[in-house]
Chain A
Amino acid sequence: MGKYVLKLFVTGINARSEKAIKNLKEICNSAFPNEYELIVIDVLESPEIAEEEKILATPTLVKTLPLPIRRLIGDLSDKEKVLLYLDINKKQA
């Protein structure tokens, strides 16, 4: 458990943020089920965390573990590109 640590920053709960969460869960469940920890952070509720992480816009996905830290912004609907950028090789999982 917890091999991948992912933080997803969203602004409030709305269609946009729900879509991002759904997309990300689908990606994680198919690429490395049960091997990830996903933390969803609402910048409206936790502005201090957003400021600390210097989040400029949402949805922003930050992969904190394993290193290197990767950060991407967008709707997370292109599964292949997301995995590629996060530097996640399916075979590792």
Chain B
Amino acid sequence: MKGKILYVDDEADNLTIFSKMLLNDGYHVDTATNSKETDALLEKGCYDILLLDIGLKNESGLDILKKVKSDPEFKLMMVVMITGLFRDSDQLSNGLESGADGYLTRPIKKREFLARINAFMRHRQTIIALEKSETRFKKIIDRNPDAILIVENNGHIKFANPAAEKMFQLSIDYLLNQSFGYPLISGEHTEINIVRKTTDKLVGEMRTIDIDWDDTDAFLTSIRDITELKKLLEELVLAREKAEENDKLKSAFLANMSHEIRTPMNGILGFAELLKESELSGEDKNQYLGIIQDAGERMLSIINNIIDVSKIESGQMEVSNSEININDILKYIFTFFKPQTDSKSLRFSYETEKMDEEITIVSDREKIYAILTNLIRNAIKFCDSGEIKFGYKINHPFIEFFVADTGSGIPKNRLEAIFERFIQADIENIMAKQGSGLGLAISKAYVEMLGGNMWVESTVGKGSTFNFSIPMKPGDI
């Protein structure tokens, strides 16, 4: 079948003759003699060509024509008027002006009639192909995730696709004729920032090429949203810097630890050697043994810290919760440290907020003990006069602990670093420096494991207060 034709004519002879010609030439033909029949057939389906006798009796072929041409469903149906030899010029003009695609004049020879119908068919095919192609290309531009702009030499936007609308948060109608600016790129592409009303700032990668647009020189500019990509790159750079920093710290830590372990080790070996001397007094022996014991304990503490850090880092440190009476822990710690504070002549006290029977929390006893012990040990280490106080306050659903000293204090620029692994705040006080520098990092890691956080307030020369807050029950946050 070459195509579908609806032929409307009120003369039976014409209908028969021309239908037969078309049928023989390979067309499917339906016929109608008035507008009612025409409507009924058009209701059922579309035709490639409507062959319309313009001079239908009683009713005007022109009405059918106008109706069909106003219906978008028949947009691609060609309407060809047929008129007599003594045609009414006005009627013909009206028809063409109303959208008819062409006309035929009877009488007409069979060969010319078919040739003309075939020509109309070809013309229709071309229009369809163009239409299809236009739809396809429009789809590519409309659906393209990159913003596409056509920018004239004066910087004005002549075309924008929906992605541009989304990118600039401005309608295409608004964007048209706005001044974008003459896109100037020295290499293949350049990065630009998109200015938009919302606070999220986009980074775009702009490419541009010369294009001829409506016979004027212009640019085809495409902008790809690379915000996420840039963010990712920045994160990668930061991660690499952090990793390098960690690596350096670890090396420094290793060197430092070797030193920390070697010093007491030298002490142990040196005094062990001295103990071999036979003429030592009992007093000297006891003193040397005391030094060896202290040095051994210091080494053990350093080694324990190293083991804890590696456990925390490898995720092997576990939390084991039980019911604990906080006042009991505080009392025990007080008793434990009292001799040390006495020997430095420091005032030492603790504060409880609740009665002994009321202060039971659910948490990890060993970790709380370790954190408090560490903070108090540090306080004693850095405090040469004045006092050390510790205790807690209830701040539902949290319990907030504090350890306050009147020691040397921590410079502002070191406040964050002291919680980092392997770093000590004070580098001037040589005696105080002894230690792994891991205590605060371990304490902070413990507090975080217990679902809380740790912070410090400090004034140089006046002292420091270390605080940490943990939930009173594991689920209460």
Measuring CB to CB, which residues of chain A are less than 8 angstroms from any residue of chain B?
Answer: 9-12, 16, 43-44, 50, 54-61, 70-78, 81-82, 85
Contacts and interface: CB of A to CB of B under 8 A. Distances in A.
B190 interface: yes
Contacts of A54: 178-179
A71 B170 CA distance: 20
Interface of B: 155, 168, 170, 178-187, 190-195, 201, 204, 206, 223
A12 B190 CA distance: 17
A76 B182 contact: no
Contact of A78 (B168, B186, B191, B193): B186
A67 B95 CA distance: 54
B182 A78 contact: no
A57 B206 CA distance: 10
A58 B203 CA distance: 10
Given A11-B201, A54-B178, A74 B195 contact: no
B230 to A, nearest CB: 10
B155 to A, nearest CB: 5
A58 B187 CA distance: 17
- Of B155, B178, B182, which is in contact with the most chain A CB atoms at under 10 Å from its CB? B182
Contacts of B223: 57
A18 B187 CA distance: 18
Nearest to B208: A74
B184 A60 contact: no
B184 A74 contact: yes
A71 B181 contact: yes
B195 A73 contact: no
Given A11-B201, A56-B168, A78-B186, A73 B191 contact: no
B183 A43 contact: no
17 contacts: A16-B191, A50-B195, A56-B195, A57-B181, A57-B192, A70-B182, A72-B181, A72-B183, A73-B155, A73-B182, A73-B192, A74-B185, A74-B192, A75-B190, A78-B184, A78-B185, A85-B184
B395 to A, nearest CB: 38
A72 B156 CA distance: 11
A44 B187 CA distance: 27
A30 to B, nearest CB: 16
A28 B233 CA distance: 33
A9 B179 CA distance: 14
A77 B182 CA distance: 14
Contacts of A77: 186-187
B181 A73 contact: yes
B155 A59 contact: no
B251 to A, nearest CB: 30
B382 to A, nearest CB: 40
A78 to B, nearest CB: 4
Nearest to B194: A57
Contact of A85 (B168, B182, B187, B195): B182
Nearest to B186: A78
B186 to A, nearest CB: 4
B184 A81 contact: yes
A44 B196 CA distance: 10
A78 B184 CA distance: 8
Contact of A58 (B170, B184, B195): B195
Contacts of B168: 56
B204 A57 contact: yes
Given A11-B201, A72-B155, A74-B206, A56 B182 contact: no
A53 to B, nearest CB: 9
A64 B223 CA distance: 26
B164 to A, nearest CB: 9
B193 A58 contact: yes
A85 B178 CA distance: 18
A57 B182 contact: no
Contacts of A59: 192-193
B102 to A, nearest CB: 48
Contacts of B179: 54, 71
A44 to B, nearest CB: 8
